[in-house]
Structure 1
Amino acid sequence: MTELGAVFRPQNPPERLRDVVRAADESGLEQLWLWEDCFLEGGISTAAAALAWSERVRVGVGVLPVPLRNVAITAMELAALERMFPGRGIWGVGHGVQEWMGQVGARVASPVTLLREYLDALRGLLAGQRITVKGRYVQLDDVALDWPPPAAPPILAAATGPKTLRLVGESADGMILTSSTPAHGIRAAAEIVRSARPESVAAQPYPIVVYLLAATGPDAADRVAAELADKEPDVAAELGVAGDAHTVAAAVTRWAEAGATSVILQPTADEPDPVGFVRFAAEQVRPLVR
């Protein structure tokens, strides 16, 4: 069954997160996702708070930009959260927006090389391995976690272009696709990843998380249109959904049929009621999705 979630967008001030988390937990929402977008809110700090304020909802971070974070620090933080809140975190990493990486002096010449080295090291550390590696970007000398998680969590990675998609298939435990991915793009991405997966794990389930821009209420269509104003009209028509629960659920179903294992409703940046949006997703849309 496809899982349904929603995003707490970092355009909201951090002090609004608690009410959204509690609404997600109480309403039965399956996943609440957070973003580490420059220069808004930190992914680990908000995830830790969300996990502490809730009892059952799974909390995703999509994504932690790898140029910003030493892989040992990321492993330490994820291990600590996994030990405190086992199995409730969903962890994603990615290239980060290159313009932002340049602003902080972290842009690299080969983002694909960095992501490959990072995924290998991060997954190894979380699995309790002691690692020495001298890569182009990732360098570790006899490093192991003193407090690895009892079970290594899956590490998902964001992807858009074919090179990164192939890398994600080879080296990550799942894939995250942005809201700029239409249904046919999900199918194409899933096929690239499927062909790149090692034979030893090809038969295992592979999470595909996809964001879907969505809005409801009297001004929903205008808000979605404004968010997609930089897209060509024929492209924009495939990327967002505005309307009541039945309309949104139908779009979720299309994304699920294209291959998404989790569809995460992404409100517009100017969503006036983040708490209401979460309850709408859980209480009205979820019962209509298979």
Structure 2
Amino acid sequence: MTRPVTFSARIGSASAGVEALADRALLAEESGFDQVWTGNDLFGHSGLVGLAAIAMRTTRIRFGSGVMDPVSLHPAQIASYASALQELSGDRFLLGLGAGSDVFFSWAGLTPPPPVVRTRQAVLAIRELLAGRSPMGVPGVADGWTEQAVLHDPRPTPIYVGAMGPKMIAMTGRIADGALSLCLPPRHVFGVIDQLKAGAESAGRSIDDLDVAACVWVSISDDRDEARALLAKHIALYSGSLSTAALEANGLDPEEFARTQALMSEGREADAVASVTDSMLELGIVGEAAEVIDQCGALIAAGARHISFGPPMGPDPAAALRLLGSQVLPRLREQF
């Protein structure tokens, strides 16, 4: 992959308030990040209002939805939002799409098509709409569109897909502009790149056509022990939600995570956190600035071209952004 290295920050949802979210995006901009991404879950805090606030508070940084789903939001409405956000921001918006949660949809009585199908249909339809065309008759788009389905004032927008499973990743390689893949551990990005490459090549494309974000957990602090303790707690909280196959494929022991999850299930959180081993900490990037530089540098040297820093970030997320911006990003930009 030959594209320049991109650094982004996943700054969460508007759970602390829209203004606070915009403040964090502005801090990321001032700290030298290239992109920020926000959350948008059904029944959670809406990311759409936050995106508008970010567009109005920042001037340089690109910002994206991580992610909108095409079930609770119709693809035509998503395309309309994207065009409006492009207009508001001077074409800095990045549209992140994902399948969404079947659990959340069931709460609303929604019964959508399978995840890969609905995501593919949405990406293809939205791309047509953003180009000023109707999706009617386009191969891979759902039936029911008419020739009148043309968006007013469309603005082309890059489309990223939140992809985890192999089928979703391969589809992303075939049709999307970028991939948002949670890489646990960070080295998992290379397996994702291989799958994206195969998908892209099957459609006559190159992997260089995609912005592949290695979405990693990072915990950074001037206090190394504090950073490690925070990541250990984060891992304990998610120890029962991780794919056994993915852990094994990356040389991690699922039994270690099962033991931690058992302690969490018994309500013994402190013991669970204490049970997180050094090998389990490989799920994220952790330590003082120098350690984070080394870990990120190894990924970039091996071919990663987009590092997306995400929760837990650090004991103080704002301080973590500043530390990444003042010490980590400049060093990595010098090296690569």
Same fold (TM over 0.5): yes
Structure with the larger RCO, 1 or 2 (CA within 8 Å, 6+ apart)? 1
Aligned partner (choices 245, 248, 253) of residue 297 of structure 2: 253
Which residue does 1:243 correspond to in 2?
Answer: 287
User: How far apart, CA to CA, are the structure 2 residues paired with 1:163 and 1:285?
Assistant: 34
Identity over aligned residues, as a percent?
26
Give 1:284 deviation, angstroms.
1.4
| Alignment size in residue pairs | 286
Aligned partner (choices 229, 233, 258) of residue 226 of structure 1: 233
Matched, 1:283 2:290: no
More deviation in 185-194 or 134-143? 134-143
Q: Deviations over 1:101-146 (max 9, x none)?
A: 3223334341111111111101111111123259885632221111
- Runs of 5+ in structure 2 lacking a partner? 240-256, 258-276
Q: SS state of the match for residue 145, structure 2?
A: strand
Question: Match for 2:281: what amino acid?
Answer: A
Which residue does 1:16 correspond to in 2?
Answer: 20
Matched, 1:190 2:193: yes
The 1:266–1:106 alpha-carbon spacing in structure 2 relative to 1, beyond 3 Å, is same
Give 1:11 deviation, angstroms.
7.2
Q: Deviations over 1:216-253 (max 9, x none)?
A: 23321111011111433587332212211111122222
Q: Cα RMSD (Å) of the superposition?
A: 2.4
User: How far apart, CA to CA, are the structure 2 residues paired with 1:214 and 1:203?
Assistant: 26
User: How far apart, CA to CA, are the structure 1 residues paired with 2:57 and 2:197?
Assistant: 37
Aligned partner (choices 21, 29, 39) of residue 35 of structure 1: 39
Aligned partner (choices 194, 198, 209) of residue 213 of structure 2: 209
Q: TM-score, normalised by structure 1?
A: 0.89
User: How far apart, CA to CA, are the structure 2 residues paired with 1:177 and 1:227?
Assistant: 18
More deviation in 210-219 or 9-18? 9-18
Greater percentage in strand: 1
The 1:235–1:37 alpha-carbon spacing in structure 2 relative to 1, beyond 3 Å, is farther
More deviation in 186-195 or 227-236? 227-236
Aligned partner (choices 131, 135, 153) of residue 147 of structure 1: 153
Which residue does 1:6 correspond to in 2?
Answer: 9
- Runs of 5+ in structure 1 lacking a partner? none
Question: Match for 1:4: what amino acid?
Answer: F
| Residues 114 and 138, structure 1, Cα contact 8 Å, conserved in 2 | no
More deviation in 229-238 or 27-36? 229-238
User: How far apart, CA to CA, are the structure 1 residues paired with 2:48 and 2:137?
Assistant: 25
User: How far apart, CA to CA, are the structure 1 residues paired with 2:104 and 2:179?
Assistant: 22
Give 1:179 deviation, angstroms.
4.2
User: How far apart, CA to CA, are the structure 2 residues paired with 1:209 and 1:277?
Assistant: 19
Which residue does 2:267 correspond to in 1?
Answer: none
Q: TM-score, normalised by structure 2?
A: 0.77
Question: Match for 1:263: what amino acid?
Answer: I
Q: SS state of the match for residue 265, structure 1?
A: strand
> Where in structure 2 are the equivalents of 1:21-170 lying within 5 Å?
21-132=25-136, 139-142=144-147, 143-149=149-155, 152-170=156-174
Question: Match for 1:281: what amino acid?
Answer: L
Larger Cα Rg: Structure 1 or Structure 2?
2
User: How far apart, CA to CA, are the structure 2 residues paired with 1:94 and 1:138?
Assistant: 20
| Residues 293 and 328, structure 2, Cα contact 8 Å, conserved in 1 | yes
User: How far apart, CA to CA, are the structure 2 residues paired with 1:136 and 1:122?
Assistant: 10
User: How far apart, CA to CA, are the structure 1 residues paired with 2:106 and 2:279?
Assistant: 29
